[in-house]
Structure 1
């Protein structure tokens, strides 16, 4: 993370880069992360059948009352709105210092794939050892599948973030036209997804870039001039249109179904969530300014990516290993199963603590472009390719143990291609040391 810069004077026609972190965005991301972790503990439910086969059930998604609730608690669009706000500000800070889009890509890749490379390597080694020691292959595949779910978000988020320099240029020239263009691409892909199913995956790029663009709009919005009635109108209109397209059968009403591959419904949710974030900003500012809230959000923020990447594989591993024991396993969806969810959450947190202690430090290592050694363009482009090849394979064909190992190798190669962060220049007296500790933040931006 970069050291906050002093405000700079903007030239004519330019927008001054925002120098400060946004405590409201930090708080919003913390809330989203906590909701995702809690939600996943109510979804993963492995089932051991009498014939010895193992399957998984998404218990929460099978509940009749869940479909309307997920309209409220599907927070993935809010992640990308927040990423658009902080990503645009980060790019403008770098650009004001004379940085390039390749430097921006280098910093983003390092910040996100370094924790992911550690996860993939540890999972591949651990699961390969489990196979050698005779653990049932289906249990191993169950855990492998658990690793694949958070990786789709990493791929989508990286794809959107790496396009920030280009999308920011379009936004600066014509913000609403660029948003309309991305929206048109999303709708066009949705129109042809029935005849060309693979084309639907193009919206992993178009849809999340469009939602990210909503963050651009908020980043440049004059907060004190937007009327509450306007924001309420956006929220109501987005939800009415969402109800219309799902009611007519153009899209499914289940937002989990609409998530993979993503479609226009998530853009409507993103618009409503962006307006709700702006509308609630005065209240959230007061909450975020509380000392204990800053401490909790800051502490969690320094390990946010590690928590996100590891919590679901750990949950899948714990669930899979319990199948091999005589530990009571109430049927999914029963009252006993629901009462066991707090214990499952506590178990995941207990497993996360040592993981955070060992691997969370990868997030603290500085990755801001101002600190990074500039790499040749070919190295950065090659790193992007070797990261997205295994991710695309996993998205289209599913994650396997072999692909898990290949992905770990590709991510490690990308980290090497992107270089390392140099040490701080020698201080007076001849001593040198690491870069200064960055401020606590829940943002993944440098």
Structure 2
């Protein structure tokens, strides 16, 4: 992390943005969008039924590739780095854990609430218009992937304040304790399969804890030469447990519910982040790259939430036309993937322009008290009930409507973030803008 100077007798300054984390998040988001265009493959059968195939995930050659490019752990490492910085800044301004939870919830659920509401209204209208229920089911499933990520990421972030306290006291012991919980759940999942979903919390909190360790790097991490050894050792251990048949070698299979293989990937990716940081820093310093990262950072959640539903919608609409539908995995199908990607980007542009502003963290116009702890906790419950349900059983049109209502209720309960919690230290009068001036960066958070 960038070194900071503390003025004599003054408050600790806010940490500078880390352009490397901006670059990593941009890369991860771009990779997710591109990968999903090569996975979603709806099939219209002669009897009129519709199914969806994961064409890329079904290719045997893809297993070693996804081993390298399964970047979901890296998302949580980056979230741990920026989340820990945000929590420390908030505490310096007098905020507490419930203020942190309020900000995190609002940051993520405002764009998600609109997505669910738009999908519910649109699909209800399609059903009334006589669109085949199977096509509607295909479109509905398009929001399932973003919702499981939202549930997992929020679970990790909302536990961040007390995990940060444990990290301050015993960083390696805290990480070891979370790792032990992950391994314990994996050992018991054969007896109680539903128990495996506890790792949606334990595993991603453990990976987030790696971000804490990286954030406090000089104090906790070895020198750069050791990072290569950590990468090699974690991947070798991962290879051993896969060869022993304890886990699948397909990291998509290992994703939901997650298991210890993703923790080993997270260790490898955290080490790689530090090993390649100098080179990544040089790339991130290029003016054009900085502008691109700033634009993507302001609208990253909108892109993530909407790209898969839009891809599913485009695929579903094409099923209703005479447009050629090459078989998944055929040469014609692969040649058509760049066109599909361009189509998704074309659909994303107006959506981002219309709904992207929902990501800008809302603040009260003037001084206002923090929300009561009971309101924040109730809002969290209202968010997790539909999100966890969708992650466990899949998304349905009814759950879309119920989820939209629950998310809207949570937004009302959370209100707006008090200016004092988003104004830099020393400017408590609110005379300065409560948010950094554009271009915002992906890891600029309250």
Matched position secondary structure for 2:324: coil
Deviations along 1:32-53, whole A, 9 cap, x unmatched? 0000000000000000011111
In structure 1, what is the equivalent of residue 58 of structure 2? 62
Q: Single out whichever of 219-228 and 297-306 deviates more from structure 2.
A: 219-228
Q: Is 1:129 matched up with 2:125?
A: yes
Whether contact under 8 Å (2:363, 2:434) holds in the other structure is no
In structure 2, what is the equivalent of residue 385 of structure 1? 381
Q: CA deviation at 1:97?
A: 1.5
Whether contact under 8 Å (2:81, 2:212) holds in the other structure is yes
In structure 1, what is the equivalent of residue 134 of structure 2? 138
Deviations along 1:121-178, whole A, 9 cap, x unmatched? 0000000000000000000000111111111001100000001101000100000000
Q: Is 1:409 matched up with 2:405?
A: yes
Whether contact under 8 Å (2:150, 2:387) holds in the other structure is no
Q: Is 1:252 matched up with 2:255?
A: no
Whether contact under 8 Å (2:101, 2:376) holds in the other structure is yes
Whether contact under 8 Å (1:41, 1:315) holds in the other structure is yes
TM-score w.r.t. the length of structure 2 is 0.92
In structure 1, what is the equivalent of residue 23 of structure 2? 27
Distance 1:434 1:409, change over 3 A: farther
Whether contact under 8 Å (1:10, 1:16) holds in the other structure is no
Distance 1:207 1:422, change over 3 A: closer
In structure 1, what is the equivalent of residue 146 of structure 2? 150
In structure 2, what is the equivalent of residue 429 of structure 1? none
Matched position secondary structure for 1:26: helix
Deviations along 1:404-430, whole A, 9 cap, x unmatched? 000000000000000025689xxxxxx
2: distance between equivalents of 1:367 and 1:48? 48
Q: Which sections of structure 2, spanning at least 5 residues, go unmatched?
A: 421-430
Corresponding pairs, count: 430
Candidates 296, 302, 319, aligned match of 1:323 = 319
1: distance between equivalents of 2:45 and 2:169? 59
Distance 1:233 1:17, change over 3 A: farther
Q: CA deviation at 1:64?
A: 1.6
Matched position secondary structure for 1:255: coil
In structure 2, what is the equivalent of residue 100 of structure 1? 96
Candidates 158, 168, 172, aligned match of 2:168 = 172
Q: CA deviation at 1:93?
A: 0.6
In structure 1, what is the equivalent of residue 278 of structure 2? 282
Whether contact under 8 Å (1:366, 1:435) holds in the other structure is no
1: distance between equivalents of 2:50 and 2:61? 27
Q: Is 1:227 matched up with 2:223?
A: yes
Whether contact under 8 Å (1:111, 1:367) holds in the other structure is no
Distance 1:371 1:93, change over 3 A: farther
Q: Is 1:159 matched up with 2:133?
A: no
Distance 1:328 1:372, change over 3 A: farther
Runs of 4 or more off by more than 4 Å in structure 1?
A: 6-11, 15-18, 370-373, 421-424, 432-437
